[in-house]
Amino acid sequence: MAAGVATWLPFARAAAVGWLPLAKKTMPKPPVDKSSKSDEILYVNVSGVRFQTWKNTLDRYPETLLGSSEKEFFYNEETQEFFFDRDPEMFRHILNFYRTGKLHYPRNECIQAFDEELAFYGIVPEIIGDCCMEEYRDRKKENQERLAEDTEANEAMDAPLPPHSTSRERLWRAFENPHTSTMALVFYYVTGFFIAVSVIANVVETVPCRPPKGSVKDLPCGEKYQLAFFCMDTACVLIFTFEYLMRLFAAPSRCKFMRSVMSVIDVVAIMPYYIGLVMPENEDVSGAFVTLRVFRVFRIFKFSRHSQGLRILGYTLKSCASELGFLLFSLTMAIIIFATVMFYAEKGTKGSTFTSIPASFWYTIVTMTTLGYGDMVPNTIAGKIFGSICSLSGVLVIALPVPVIVSNFSRIYHQNQRADKMRAQQKVRMARIRMAKKGTVNAFLQYKEDRDRHSDNTTLCVKNRSAFEHQHNHLLHCLEKTTNHEFTNEINYSELCMTESVGYRTSRSTSLSSQQGAQNNSTGCCPRRARRRAAMRLANSTVSVSRGSIQELDTLHIKSTSIPPQTRSSLNAQMCDLKLNCGEPDFSAAIISIPTPPANSPDESLPPSPAPVPGILRNTRATAYTHDNVKISSL
Amino acid sequence: MGIQGMELFAIGVVIILFMAVLKQFGILEPMSSFEDNSDSDLELSTVRHQPEGLDQLQAQTKFTRKELQSLYRGFKNECPSGLVDEETFKTIYSQFFPQGDATTYAHFLFNAFDIDRNGSIRFEDFVIGLSVLLRGSVTEKLNWAFNLYDINKDGYITKEEMLAIMKSIYDMMGRYTYPCVRDEAPSEHVEKFFQKMDKNRDGVVTIEEFIETCQKDENIMNSMQLFENVI
């Protein structure tokens, strides 16, 4: 029930006195109103901005936070007010909802921020008033599309290979993402080349060549060099067949693959050849055989695997299907009307070309699309009048749906471009996050060394660590004690493991993903240590190592941990004796500073004196190593 | 028909199009100019009502100052213009009885509240009515109920009036009741009521008969106290 109705309830109850004289049975007792306090003004302090409202106003919606007893949790006895540590601008809209009964969506606010506020205050977004509902829905849909694209792109594109992928899975990945391995890239270009060759051959074989000796008529090249063209065609078809069979073998779901558009195009492209092979040289069927050759031109559609623009075009046309359908329908209507009119207008003329209504269709189409071939021309005055009306209306009817299609195309194209930009940004972001995580690990290892070295608990740098850091380090320490294993960082791990994991990491790889994958892959020799590493990762970042996880960034925002010494040193000159990062842990500054290529800083950050403690060495090597990684990623 | 017909038709089409173009330029006045009702789109939104002062209302009703303030705030929030018309009233009242149809009874109720019969309830009417219902004496309440039943306000409740009231009350119940509401139920109820109330068997119930009968009925007298704590 609406809020206002609650105001009228006492009135409706009072009006029930009118039933009393007619009542057949006795009335039930009314409920006891416990809170019989009269209306009072409540004070709500939202981040310093004080709002005041009647208690009744808030009680209108008892299922929300402010209308129920949940707000008691936020009551501050000293100041006698309810304190909320949220955005006061947004709160204004929330409070207006209570006052007027209608929730409005402020157009200049971010849709996610608004949703979060609504969720906090326990208000369902469906009550947004009609005036703002459309805007809200549009923005929300747009936002969801954007986020869905990001996750999809992340998963699809450079997702690291699972460690134990079969050859079949690897093959499929090579087909879908050609730039993951050189072999795939080579195959991709080879098929592209052969598609082009095949299409050009189809075209050229119809061009008239000089006739052979003894004949006068011009022959098409296809017949003159029949053997050559046949060999070329065979080669192309062999390549296409091989590709198709490979894809069929590698596809994770064969049925789905066979139903997909690209595979249908593939089949249509190669079938004519095989049909031509098996068909005998019969006069009757050679006509049909010629028709089949037409289908060879569909090979050009195979280019859509190679070109994203073509795919976008196809997707646009598909999404504009309704507009195109409308265009077609209205054109058909107009054609029939005008053809009929023209036919009857020109009926009497001698030698008129408008022999029947279907014959007039051709005239109407040519006129409406303003082609005007001139093979059919009206001669009577009426015919000319209607012909001119026909051409004018044709322009209008065709022009109407075109802007819709264009705007759709533009939207999809921009979405695609944005997706590409996002992917590039994502790589940089991931690099930053990884560096920050390493910093956390290093900080903890430093803490452990401090503890071990200065067991009397009076280090110079302890006071510079925040309470948060202390508690976090203590927590990790507790975990170590629980599992009776210790945290190390990657370099130590690889040293101790002495496996090919080092080889993986220092090898040149074109993308961080393979490096990431390699780290995950190094389960070879030390499964126990691998689990420990997994535990360490888990402890350091409360989320999995999967990329594109927004939670990672959130978690890091909460932690005000120290960052790798190399970047800190570039920001503040003071350094500890032990060359540790003892500056103010200012994480937000770190995020801003990291994009400036950290490659500049390693030289100055490497501590000039070789520290005796192996931990330091480990750290510096780790930092140097980190830089290598980052360098590769930013390329 | 032949060619002559088609030519005439073509010329006719051209003339129509020409007129359409002239209309666009406003040279040819549209034929439907007398239906120009754009002015009526301007709603006369200047209908507004301010209630009498707080002191007067306090004198006229039995509510305290704070109660009146609280009541007015709620009233003004729902009806910023200060007036409730019948349609709004019906909508509001129907929301409390989702299963049935409360519009007929709401109509009678509206008439009972609208003392000066001007088609809208002002805050004064609202508050005076509530005062009677919640803080009035038993006689006042019975008077109010009689006024409600007496549809044409002539001082007598006839069987037809009572039947109309009864039907509207049963309408509010809706279809899904247990036991099912039979079609004769309102008439039977009216019969019972008249047997009880109509002492001199003249077919109408006057205010004195009504009050006298109700005061003798224990149930009615006890239930009159029920709704006093609504506000």
- pLDDT tens track for A471-529: 878 888 888 888 777 777 667 776 776 654 444 444 444 444 444 444 444 444 444 44
Q: What span, in angstroms and rounded, lies between the C-alpha atoms of B45 and B94?
A: 26
pLDDT of B31: 55
**Region of residue A405 (phi > 0: left; psi between -120 and 50: alpha; otherwise: beta):** alpha
In this prediction, residue A525 carries a pLDDT of 45
Q: Give, in order, the Cα–Cα distances in Å from A362 to each of A326, A338, A359, A490.
A: 21, 11, 6, 76
φ/ψ of residue A35, rounded to 5: -85, 80
Q: How many CB atoms lie within 10 A of CB A2?
A: 15
Among A28-42, A314-328, A512-526, the minimum mean pLDDT is found in A512-526
- For residue B57, the one-letter residue type is L
Instruction: Answer whether residue A271 shows pLDDT above 80.
Output: yes
Find the residue in A nearest to B162 (Cα): A22
The pLDDT assigned to A511 comes to 41
- pLDDT band for B42, please (50, 70, 90 cuts): low
Residue found under tokens 């997706």: A419
Across the interface, whether the CB atoms of A27 and B2 are under 8 A apart is answered: no
* Binary contact (B7, A380; C-beta < 8 A): yes
Give the residue among A107, A129, A105 at the shortest CA–CA distance from A117. A105
* pLDDT one-digit tens code per residue, A340-370: 999 999 988 888 889 999 999 999 999 999 9
Q: Distance from B34 to chain A by nearest Cα, in Å?
A: 33
Degrees, nearest 5: CA angle A92-A96-A98: 125
Higher pLDDT, A47 or A224: A47
* Token pair in block for residue B32: 């439907």
Give A540 to chain B, closest Cα distance, Å.
Answer: 54
For CA atoms A387, A390, A392, A394, the dihedral sign is: negative
How many helices and strands (H and E) does chain B possess? 11, 4
Which of A425-434, A477-486, A557-566 has maximum average pLDDT? A425-434
- Region of residue B157 (left: phi > 0; alpha: psi -120 to 50; beta: else): beta
Spatial separation of the C-alpha atoms in residues A426 and A308, rounded to whole Å: 21
Picking from A17, A54, A385, the nearest residue to B145 by CB comes out as: A17
- Are the Cβ atoms of A2 and B95 closer than 8 angstroms? yes
Q: For chain A, first and last CA: distance in Å?
A: 60
Contact predicate A431/A630, CB 8 Å:
yes
Q: What angle do CA B89, B91, B93 make, to 5 degrees?
A: 70
Residue from the list A8, A99, A347 with its beta carbon closest to the beta carbon of B92: A8
Taking the mean position of all CA atoms in its chain, how far away is CA A564? 31
Do the beta carbons of residue A296 and residue A195 sit within 8 Å? Answer: no
Q: What Cα–Cα distance (Å) separates residue B224 from each residue in A128, A513, B105?
A: 42, 81, 20
Contact residues, chain A to chain B, C-beta under 8 Å: 1-2, 4-5, 7-24, 26-27, 29-30, 33, 36, 38-39, 54, 56, 99, 344-345, 347-348, 380-382, 385-386, 389
CA distance B38 to chain A (A): 24
Helices (H), A42-129: 55-59, 88-100, 111-121
Find tokens 């007792």 and name the residue. A29
Chains A & B: contacts with CB separation below 8 Å = 116
CA-CA distance, A403 to A380, in Å (whole number)?
36
**Which ranges of A38-181 would DSSP assign to H, the alpha helix?**
55-59, 88-100, 111-121, 130-156, 167-176
| DSSP single-letter state for residue B35 | G
pLDDT at A287: 67
Residue B14's φ and ψ, nearest 5 degrees, are -65, -40
pLDDT range class, residue A378, cuts 50, 70, 90 = very high
List, in sequence order, the alpha helices (H) in A211-260: 221-224, 226-250, 254-259
- State the Cα–Cα distance between residues B5 and A631, nearest whole angstrom: 85
Cβ of residue B166 closer than 8 Å to a chain A Cβ:
yes
The answer to whether the beta carbons of residues B93 and B126 sit under 8 Å apart is: no
**What 3-state DSSP class applies to A321?**
helix
Any CB–CB contact under 8 A between B5 and chain A? no
- Asked whether the beta carbons of B67 and B230 are under 8 A apart, the reply is no
- According to DSSP, the β-strands at B83-85 and B120-122 are antiparallel
Element (H, E) at A314: helix A308-319
Please report the pLDDT score of residue A319 as a whole number: 82
Flag whether residue B65 sits within 8 Å of chain A, measured between CB atoms: no
Where is pLDDT greater, at A395 or A591?
A395
Q: Which amino acid makes up residue A614?
A: P
**Non-local CB neighbours of A437 within 8 Å, separated by 6+ positions:** A540, A541, A556
Q: Do B229 and A30 touch (CB under 8 A)?
A: yes
Cis peptide upstream of residue A272 (ω within 30 degrees of 0): no
Does residue A164 sit in helix, strand or coil?
A: coil
**Pick from A578, A568, A563, A483: which is nearest to A531 by CA?**
A483
CB contact under 8 Å between B7 and A11, yes or no, is: no
Is B95 in contact with A380 (Cβ distance < 8 A)? Answer: no
Q: Does B185 contact chain A (CB < 8 Å)?
A: no
Do you know the residue count of chain B? 231
Is the ipTM of this structure higher than 0.90?
Answer: no
- Judged by average pLDDT, the poorest of A224-238, A315-329, A517-531, B156-170 is A517-531
Nearest of A321, A502, A288 to residue A401 by alpha carbon: A321
Going by C-beta distance under 8 Å and a sequence separation of 6 or more, which residues neighbour residue A165? A173
State yes or no: pLDDT of A293 exceeds 60. Answer: yes
In angstroms, the separation between the Cα of residue A389 and the nearest Cα of chain B is: 9
Minimal Cα distance from B191: which residue of A? A22
Specify the pTM.
0.54
Which residue from B193, B222, B224 is facing A22, i.e. has the nearest CB?
A: B193
Nearest to A330 by CA among A404, A397, A405, A400: A397
Of the ranges A17-26, A393-402, B1-10, B145-154, which one carries the lowest mean pLDDT score?
A: B1-10
Distances (CA, A) of B99 to A14, A421, B88: 20, 57, 19
Contact A216, A242 (CB under 8 A): no
Among A227-236, A466-475, B108-117, name the one with the lowest average pLDDT. A466-475
Structure token pair of residue A77: 């006895």
- Cβ–Cβ gap A22/B166 under 8 Å: yes
Q: Is A555's pLDDT higher than 60?
A: no
Tokens of A431: 């690099």
Taking a C-beta distance cutoff of 8 angstroms, is the pair A468, A559 a contact? yes
